[in-house]
Structure 1
Amino acid sequence: MFLFVMKLDAVTPMKTSDSLGFRRWQSRLCQWRPLRCFGRRLLEDDRGATAVYVVLGLTVMIAAMGTGLDAGRAYIVKSRLSSALDAAALAGGLTMFDATRDDDIRKYFRVNFPDGFMGATVTGPSITVDEANETVFLRATANVSTAVMQVMGYDSITVVAETEVTRKMKALDLVLSMDISGSMSETAPGSNQSRLAAAKVAAKDLIKILYGSTDTKDLLKIGLVPWNAKVNVMVEGQAYVHGDRRSEAVAAFTNPENGQNQTVVWYANNSPVPLLFEPPPGWKGCVFNRYKNSDGDTNDADTHEGPTTVNGVSWPGWAPSYPGTYPAAGDPLSLLLGGEPVNNWYNNWDIRGRCGLAPSGSDCVACPSVGITPLQNSRGAITSAVETLSAGGNTNIPAGLAWAWEVLTPAAPFSEAVANPTYDRDQAIVLLTDGINCPNYGDGYKRVFGSCNSNSARDKMDARLRKLAANIKEQGILVYAIQFVDSDADQIALMKDIATAPEAPFYYYAPTGDALKSAFREIANHLSELRLSK
């Protein structure tokens, strides 16, 4: 084993006398070379070093805070700019095909981004509209003056915002159910046109919004059901030819109108509606409401859809309203079905307005001259159908709503709607009336509830309407109800009850023609879907 031993010399401390000598020598050296001595002392002296670092740090921190302040203001401006563009684009989408579209866009933009907001100077919005693809594209820039960054040579920050809204509509089947009773010929408040003329303008505006710039849309179908005391179930534009009527065998049933056994129903050449009786020469196209007025409402089909059986009572069709004859004693069908008024004189008596159901009165009302327009996808066809409407007769709201339901659904008699579509589809009815239910001779209910001036009679018709509307809404069908001009509180409550919801966009009270147009526009926009696509 080897052992290595290292010897360390002890460090001898400098004596005080030696230290003093060194300092004297150093002092004499500084006299000879002052700059060198000053540099040495400066390097060796660390007093005040912290202050230097603090100054440098504060400078950087203040610059960063100032930059953050300016950037934060720019961010706020950009956020507000983007929100304003979104609001303006949505407003433009709602009025895409109106002459006021660009003005609406600018108005909504200025409301949401007021002039001088945070000192920003705005350019735009620029507006680009693609009507074919139904898009609205907006772009705007804003210059924001800087506060601190000016020191670094940046006087302002420019922010840019863009947005695009696309107007989309999923498949829609829509039926316009329009009151054309006599009161619709009266002048609409606040205008010099009739109520019906105002309704036509509003309906055509809705059609324009839904179709946009196109003449047809594959997934959009609109039908029209005009009504007064009854509904003309002929297809509009097709003439009735008595010689072309036909019968069709069905399962044996007891005709609920006359109690007779029967194995056939009848069809006119211009209507898909099955009839319980042979349509006579001169038939105007109207039918009754399928209400027996017996056993409560346990066997009535006025609130049911299509050919049906209600508690064992078969209703494979509807009873046609026969032309009026006078006197009617020798014509049992006229006494049972004679709902059309006589339009001539008899033995020097003025018997106009009389009918088989009211041979001694003069309050029978004529069937509407305009028939039903089934669901179809032509903008021109539905617009023309609206144009042909004319006013006259009493008010039977249940008939108008019931036939709108028949037209809307794919089951017979009208079957233009697609059954069980593989795509998403809305089904909707827009119901417009300017009055209250008014039963009378020759109406769809054969005046079984009483006269128009009877509150009890109106209450009974209102009850039928409520039950009918409930059945329709159970199928998921949207019901938009518009009360025009008439401000009767009970009627307003009724219309709210039959609508999908008792407030906009499903219920509207429109006291004037302008309010009616606004209601139709809001409904159209509700049926269209706007989405921000950028």
Structure 2
Amino acid sequence: MFAFAGVVLICLAGAVVDYGRVSKAHTSLQAATDAAALAAARLPSKDAGLMRTAANNFFVANSIGIDGHNIQITNFTFQEASGTVSVETSGVLDTSLMSLAGIKTMGFSAKSAAVKEVTGTVEMALVLDNTWSMSDSAGGSDSKITILKAAAKNLITTVLKEGGTNVKIGIVPFADYVNVGTGNRSQSWLSVPPDTTTTTQNPPRTCVTKTTKSVCTKGAPATCTRTVDGVRETYDCTPSTCVDQTVAPYESCSGGGSSTTTTRWYGCVYSRKTGSLRLNDSEPTTPYVGFLGTSQKCLNPIVPLTSEKTVLTTAIDNLIINIGTGYRPQTYIPAGMIWGVNVLSPTAPFSEGAAYDTANRMPRKAMVLMTDGANTLRFNSADGSHATLNSNATTAANQVTATNTDTSAICTYAKSKNIEVFTVAFAVTDVAAKTMLQGCATDAAHYYDATNAAALAAAFQAIGQSLTSLRLSQ
């Protein structure tokens, strides 16, 4: 009886030892499985193959030292709709004392699921440079505006997919002016004069007989260069010499009839000229002034905060950087920044934004400024327009400094409202401009110096990731 009891006690002791080993192995396996799921979900790519590879690499690295064999990932799935990564693992442990009872192995397994999502609510304004310089390349075959469109749509897709209706995004295209949308003409925060049509009677038609005509002769072919919003371009500047030559008498007539000039509002607005209101949203009832023109002098209209992905991506696809050959806009960053604030503000103009949260969590408000160059215009206090720089180099430099100072002041105001400010310098070479953008960002981690297409895509991916968080859902 004692011998029989001894065998039972030994088996029980073996069970305690082996189950302890299995429990420890399971705990370690669960930790390695969690790490694998989080590693896969953290990837910006949504390629299931790449995510599986990342999960496997992390699992192998974290499963070293686990007691047992055949320790592996047995199942990996990625649900794109929810952004959930699921990982199942297993292993086998050779028993020690329990083998005396015929139990030679014990299996153990683990499951984990990780999801990347927006926590709380997010309101984000994309303040995007659409100036003529965006027609240039960043070193590759594509133009900067083409590269921007791809990066911006990826950011929108990432954040909306992981936040759903908890995320609202607005788009503020800017150049020399901002377009607030002609549909807002009757809004109380806007003052727009009526469109005009003026008919002018020309002098009476008169005809005279002439015996001379100006004849022009081109000289040696010549090509000159000029800079438009930072883009150097060439043009034909071949000189011509014109002289009057005697010809057979002919009749030359002029005058008569009338000419009609129509000016209308295309959605373009000046900055507010009263005091420092161009730099903040402290008096939302003070209206902006819309200005008329014979042709459009601002680009795409603002898209207010919305969760509609199609609306946002279509607006990005439709971004333009010029209208014909006559309007190639220059850069005035303060206009883009203040309208970024206006889009996020809970007060007019635009009122889709929720009230500010002092902790910036419910909602979390963020503004992303992307520009490829320096300010090339100045504020005109007489009417709030954005004027060209002085021809004198020293004066022009001082005017750019003043515009940079205005940009920084708006950034400071945005941050005072706890708006999280990201800035992206896309192929910017101007030192003063880069310094301004660095100071504009919430902190060093919110500033991105993107020197090429890949860097811009990475910057927008990083911004999207920073607005989301990983958590284990299983």
TM-score of the pair, normalised by structure 1: 0.64
Deviations 1:408-428 (Å, cap 9, x if unpaired)? 11211111223479x921111
Structure 1 residue 79, shift from structure 2 partner: 4.1
Which residue in the other structure is 1:282 paired with? 264
| CA contact 1:220–1:377 (8 Å) conserved in 2 | yes
**Is 1:372 the counterpart of 2:302 in the alignment?**
yes
- Once residues 390 and 100 of structure 2 are traced to their aligned partners in structure 1, the CA distance between those partners, rounded to angstroms, is 89
**Is 1:136 the counterpart of 2:53 in the alignment?**
no
- Once residues 408 and 269 of structure 2 are traced to their aligned partners in structure 1, the CA distance between those partners, rounded to angstroms, is 21
Structure 1 residue 85, shift from structure 2 partner: 2.5
Taking a change above 3 Å as real, the CA distance of residues 208 and 381 of structure 1, as seen in their structure-2 partners, is same
Which residue in the other structure is 1:42 paired with? none
**1:117 counterpart (47, 60, 64):** 64
Aligned residues: 389
Amino acid at match of 2:133: S
Amino acid at match of 2:88: R
| CA contact 2:114–2:470 (8 Å) conserved in 1 | yes
Deviations 1:28-50 (Å, cap 9, x if unpaired)? xxxxxxxxxxxxxxxxxxxxxxx
Secondary structure of the corresponding residue to residue 316 of structure 2: helix
Q: Which has the higher contact order (CA 8 A, sep 6+)?
A: 2
**2:331 counterpart (371, 378, 395):** 395
Structure 1 residue 525, shift from structure 2 partner: 1.9
Which residue in the other structure is 2:177 paired with? 230
**1:268 counterpart (185, 194, 204):** 185
Taking a change above 3 Å as real, the CA distance of residues 444 and 199 of structure 1, as seen in their structure-2 partners, is farther
Amino acid at match of 2:56: F
- Map 1:408-447; keep pairs closer than 5 Å: 408-419=344-355, 424-439=362-377, 446-447=386-387
Secondary structure of the corresponding residue to residue 289 of structure 2: coil
Deviations 1:352-405 (Å, cap 9, x if unpaired)? xxxxxxxxxxxxxx7333111111221100110111111242111111111011
Structure 1 residue 446, shift from structure 2 partner: 3.1
Deviations 1:183-210 (Å, cap 9, x if unpaired)? 1111123x32111111100111011112
- Once residues 309 and 62 of structure 2 are traced to their aligned partners in structure 1, the CA distance between those partners, rounded to angstroms, is 42
Structure 1 residue 435, shift from structure 2 partner: 1.0
**1:512 counterpart (427, 444, 452):** 452
- Once residues 285 and 154 of structure 1 are traced to their aligned partners in structure 2, the CA distance between those partners, rounded to angstroms, is 80
Taking a change above 3 Å as real, the CA distance of residues 135 and 452 of structure 1, as seen in their structure-2 partners, is farther
Which residue in the other structure is 1:386 paired with? 316
Structure 1 residue 100, shift from structure 2 partner: 1.4
- Map 1:270-349; keep pairs closer than 5 Å: 273-275=189-191, 281-291=263-273, 299-305=275-281, 307=283, 316-323=286-293
- Once residues 475 and 157 of structure 1 are traced to their aligned partners in structure 2, the CA distance between those partners, rounded to angstroms, is 59
| CA contact 1:83–1:112 (8 Å) conserved in 2 | no
- Structure 1 unmatched runs, 5+: 1-55, 239-266, 293-298, 309-314, 325-339, 341-365
Which residue in the other structure is 1:192 paired with? 141
- Once residues 302 and 184 of structure 1 are traced to their aligned partners in structure 2, the CA distance between those partners, rounded to angstroms, is 25
Structure 1 residue 437, shift from structure 2 partner: 1.6
Q: Identity across aligned pairs (percent)?
A: 26
- Map 1:247-262; keep pairs closer than 5 Å: none
| CA contact 1:394–1:440 (8 Å) conserved in 2 | no
| CA contact 1:67–1:149 (8 Å) conserved in 2 | no
Which residue in the other structure is 1:174 paired with? 124
Amino acid at match of 1:495: L
Amino acid at match of 2:171: L
Structure 1 residue 130, shift from structure 2 partner: 4.0
Structure 1 residue 93, shift from structure 2 partner: 3.0
Amino acid at match of 1:408: L
- Once residues 349 and 397 of structure 2 are traced to their aligned partners in structure 1, the CA distance between those partners, rounded to angstroms, is 34
| CA contact 2:190–2:290 (8 Å) conserved in 1 | no
Which residue in the other structure is 1:531 paired with? 471
Taking a change above 3 Å as real, the CA distance of residues 370 and 83 of structure 1, as seen in their structure-2 partners, is same
Secondary structure of the corresponding residue to residue 87 of structure 1: helix
**1:521 counterpart (446, 449, 461):** 461
- Once residues 429 and 32 of structure 2 are traced to their aligned partners in structure 1, the CA distance between those partners, rounded to angstroms, is 38
**Is 1:92 the counterpart of 2:40 in the alignment?**
yes
| CA contact 1:484–1:516 (8 Å) conserved in 2 | yes
**Is 1:473 the counterpart of 2:420 in the alignment?**
no
| CA contact 1:283–1:322 (8 Å) conserved in 2 | yes
TM-score of the pair, normalised by structure 2: 0.71
Which residue in the other structure is 2:251 paired with? none
Secondary structure of the corresponding residue to residue 315 of structure 2: helix
**1:502 counterpart (444, 448, 467):** 444
Name the structure with the higher strand share: 2
- Once residues 432 and 418 of structure 1 are traced to their aligned partners in structure 2, the CA distance between those partners, rounded to angstroms, is 24
Structure 1 residue 83, shift from structure 2 partner: 3.0
Which residue in the other structure is 2:253 paired with? none
Greater Rg over alpha carbons, structure: 1
Structure 1 residue 75, shift from structure 2 partner: 5.4
Taking a change above 3 Å as real, the CA distance of residues 80 and 116 of structure 1, as seen in their structure-2 partners, is closer
Secondary structure of the corresponding residue to residue 479 of structure 1: strand
Deviations 1:473-501 (Å, cap 9, x if unpaired)? 11111111111111444333222211111
Taking a change above 3 Å as real, the CA distance of residues 440 and 461 of structure 1, as seen in their structure-2 partners, is closer
Taking a change above 3 Å as real, the CA distance of residues 175 and 125 of structure 1, as seen in their structure-2 partners, is farther
- Once residues 185 and 148 of structure 2 are traced to their aligned partners in structure 1, the CA distance between those partners, rounded to angstroms, is 31
Taking a change above 3 Å as real, the CA distance of residues 426 and 75 of structure 1, as seen in their structure-2 partners, is same
RMSD of aligned alpha carbons = 3.7
- Once residues 148 and 272 of structure 1 are traced to their aligned partners in structure 2, the CA distance between those partners, rounded to angstroms, is 85
| CA contact 2:11–2:101 (8 Å) conserved in 1 | no
